[in-house]
Structure 1
Amino acid sequence: MDGCFYEEDHCVKMTLEKILKAQRKVKKNKGGTCQTSCMAPLGELGNQHVNNTIPFILYCDCDPFKVEGVTTKCDQHSKNEKFVCFATFIFRIIEIKDDCAVLELLKFKKHHKCNSKDKPISSPCSQLNYENIDDLMSTGVCINVDVSGFNAIQCLPSVCL
């Protein structure tokens, strides 16, 4: 596979392990260097916030991996808690053991404008295009996946979440 830096069969798994190790190092040290990629430490010089996450997109065969997540939100009008669904192609590694990984679903903050409707998320580009990097946020919604089912990973620039 082009772009795979490992001789072994599980380059996606090994990349996820390296990302997790880098994220844990930043969390522990509260610092980093200026390089940003799947294989480099996190952090940027001159950045007031230390980048602590390498978000990524996974691929099954040639298709990007999309997940629909569910969380809750308090309705402003009725004051009742309601379910809220969202779709995403963007993830953060939380834990990995053997071929099982826990991924957190990431999404962008919504900027509510009069008469605006959510744009449909049909591809990674439809989710990412023209979004502010600082608007990427944690959701607290996690899924368990078998990483052996993925054959490609695309890392995005590191961010502070």
Structure 2
Amino acid sequence: MKKNVGRNDDVGGVISNGDSCVCDVVRAIADAQDNVVEIGCDVSCARSIQDLVSPARGNGLDTVPFILYDKKGKPFKGFGTEVSDGRFECFSSFIFRVTEVDDEDCCAVLELLVFDNDDTTCGDPCEQLDNEKIKDLQRTGICITVDLDCFCAITCLPAVSVL
């Protein structure tokens, strides 16, 4: 049975309605990115959201990249293509930037983020991230639409600038 009691989870002070914590976190990230308290964790969704919207920082951060996990605990890998010189070029990534969240059905449009020296994405998020430079993370312009209710966990990476 689902609890329908509000709670203040690690989503930057956002009150969850108890329906979907992943949806709530992604919605909070989208709100913070659109609007471009001390937190106990050094790396968390709340910390990344706070870093993104903190006016005192003035650091030009514009994105909270994140990784989603399915209901079996496996990292979600998104795929998409672009056309270059009349040919398809395929991209895959475990790292996303939210561009839009539909509040009615908790679907979101996510953009795939990749590192500029990546030819292919490895088998897990740590392989994709390990030893990469933050400044090399870039937007692909390739977006996918997902149902956020299909995910059970989210890992937020530190806020970055990718615009």
* TM-score range normalised by the length of the shorter chain: 0.7 to 0.9
Counterpart CA distance in 1 for 2:128 and 2:69 is 15
The Cα offsets for residues 66-120 of structure 1, whole Å up to 9 and x where unpaired, read as: 11221122xxxxxx33211121000011111122111111111027xxxxxx465
> Could you say which structure has the larger radius of gyration?
1
Q: For the Cα contact (< 8 Å) 2:113–2:137, is it kept in 1?
A: yes
Aligned to 2:149: 148
Alignment partners' CA distance in 2, 1:69 and 1:134:
22
Matches within 5 A, 1:81-96: 81-96=86-101
Aligned-partner Cα distance in 2 for 1:121–1:86? 11
AA at the equivalent of 2:32: A
TM-score w.r.t. length of structure 1: 0.76
Please state if 1:19 is matched with 2:20.
Answer: no
TM-score, with structure 2 as normaliser = 0.75
Aligned residues: 136
Give, in angstroms, the shift of residue 7 of structure 1. Answer: 6.6
Aligned twin of 1:30: none
**Partner of 1:31 in structure 2?**
none
SS at match of 1:63: coil
Counterpart of 1:52?
62
SS of residue paired to 1:84: strand
In structure 2, the residue matched to 1:9 is 19
Provide the C-alpha distance between the structure 2 equivalents of 1:122 and 1:101, rounded to a whole number of angstroms.
24
Structure 2: 5+ residue stretches without partners: 1-8, 11-15, 37-41
Per the TM alignment, residue 65 of structure 1 is displaced from its structure 2 partner at its CA by 0.3
Instruction: Report SS of the residue matched to 1:151.
Output: strand
Identity of aligned residues (%): 44
In structure 2, the partner of 1:122 is: 123
